[in-house]
Amino acid sequence: MESGGRPSAAQAVLLAASTAITALLYSVYRQKARVAHGLEGARKIRLDGDLRAVLLEAPGRCVPYAVIEGVVRSVKETLSSQFVENCKGVVQRLTLQEHKMVWNRTTHLWNDYEKIIHQRTNTTPFDLVAAEDGAGVTVRVMKPLDAAELSLETVYEKFHPSVQSFTDVIGHYISGERPKGIQETEQMLKVGTALTGVGELVLDNATIKLQPPKQGMPYYLSTLDFESLLQKQESSVRFWKILTVVFGFATCAILFFLLRKQYRHHQERQHLRQMQEEFRQAQERLMNAEGGETLKNPCVVCLSSTKSCIFLECGHVCSCHECYQALPEPKKCPICRQGITRVVPLYNS
């Protein structure tokens, strides 16, 4: 604490930072809780012959937030894997990722560094169909790349290490970067994959479409079943809730510490003012004693009696005999705080 009971700059910054982090974590927690609550309230609809009738009865032929489970089937053509034979899909993502070691000048250590240098995603229109009857009702999946939980399976992965000469190695040590190689990856959403879609379900003319919802809720296309997807979101909510509580408790602890310091400082100031007032009153009593004459050699403790004791071994003469008797054990000199071994009476002639 600074003079005057005010918190120091470091303490004020710590309190402000802790409060800001708590507010940020609470905002994320509220957002996650809203998403989990909305997902829990989503309407589960079966992919069967009654689906069209359900949409015809819905306001605007639309269910704003629905859950539907089915199997992926391409509409026309499929995408073939560039590396795996007889691997067909409807979403294909090709990624080239650079791996290298970077020298950290602060920690003096080599750290792993990864960077995507090229990525391409190919899509083709696809439907969700019932697992039991592939020729029944279909649901066209719109904008699959906008989904928050688009699950792609890695069908090919290969690491191409860098070939380096001795001169290259020396140059890399000088520059602080050591390339390790390039990782090539292919991911696909394969035909026949069981998929859970959560979004807006709408009947557009004769086509049933699953598309991103308009209420700001997330759009899901996940290989997890609905219960697992819901549990995953609830786990995320619990994680952010715990973080918010921990940082909130830390903020309250810091605030309590600062308020306690300020209260103690206020108590000390009050005690000091009280002592000053008592000293002033004692001085007034001395001035009024013996017809207004000031008492000679007054006791430093009571200020109302004459000094009558010599403390040994320090030799101070500062107290009357009554105040000496009232000193707490072990008795110490009020002036130098040295222990009193014996007391000699003082006689004024």
pTM value > 0.75: no
Q: Residue 302 falls within a domain, yes or no?
A: no
Q: Residue 17 falls within a domain, yes or no?
A: yes
Q: Residue 284 falls within a domain, yes or no?
A: no
Element (H, E) at 348: none
Query: How far apart are the C-alpha atoms of 55 and 60, rounded to whole Å?
Result: 8
The answer on 215 and 113 residing in a single domain is yes
Mean pLDDT of the chain: 86
Query: How far apart are the C-alpha atoms of 136 and 22, rounded to whole Å?
Result: 51
The answer on 210 and 85 residing in a single domain is yes
- Which residues, 6+ apart, have CB-to-CB distance to 189 below 8 Å? 72, 89, 90, 91, 144, 150, 151, 152, 153, 195
The answer on 255 and 220 residing in a single domain is no
Least confident of 50-59, 98-107, 131-140: 131-140
pLDDT band at residue 163 under the 50/70/90 scheme: confident
The answer on 126 and 89 residing in a single domain is yes
The answer on 190 and 107 residing in a single domain is yes
Model pLDDT, residue 79: 92
| Total of domains in the chain | 3
Q: Residue 93 falls within a domain, yes or no?
A: yes
More confident residue, 329 or 114: 114
Cβ atoms of residues 138 and 129 within 8 Å: yes
Q: Residue 48 falls within a domain, yes or no?
A: no
CA angle 174, 179, 183 (to 5 degrees): 170
The answer on 235 and 199 residing in a single domain is no
**Could you tell me how many helices (H) and strands (E) the chain has, helices first?**
5, 14
The answer on 215 and 67 residing in a single domain is yes
Cβ atoms of residues 32 and 226 within 8 Å: no
Please give the average per-residue pLDDT across 159-166, as a whole number. Answer: 86
Is the predicted pLDDT of residue 292 greater than 50, yes or no? no
Element (H, E) at 135: none
Q: Residue 18 falls within a domain, yes or no?
A: yes
Q: Residue 292 falls within a domain, yes or no?
A: no
Is the predicted pLDDT of residue 27 greater than 90, yes or no? yes
Q: What is the pLDDT of residues 194-210, one digit of tens each?
A: 999 999 999 988 889 99
Computed on alpha carbons and rounded to an integer, the radius of gyration of the chain in Å comes to 41
Domain with 341, as residue range(s), is: 309-345
Please give the average per-residue pLDDT across 305-330, as a whole number. Answer: 83
The answer on 80 and 150 residing in a single domain is yes
The answer on 173 and 121 residing in a single domain is yes
Q: Residue 207 falls within a domain, yes or no?
A: yes
Tell me the two tokens of residue 190: 């394969």
- Mean pLDDT is highest, among 136-140, 144-148, 237-241, 292-296, for 237-241
The rounded percent of the chain whose pLDDT value lies above 90 is 40
3-state secondary structure 2-57: CHHHCCCHHHHHHHHHHHHHHHHHHHHHHHHHHHHHHHHCCEECCCCCCHHHHHHH
Query: How far apart are the C-alpha atoms of 312 and 331, rounded to whole Å?
Result: 11
pLDDT band at residue 179 under the 50/70/90 scheme: confident
The answer on 123 and 91 residing in a single domain is yes
Residue at which a domain ends, from 197, 224, 251: 224
Query: How far apart are the C-alpha atoms of 120 and 114, rounded to whole Å?
Result: 17
More confident residue, 272 or 182: 182
The answer on 341 and 324 residing in a single domain is yes
Model pLDDT, residue 216: 78
The answer on 218 and 159 residing in a single domain is yes
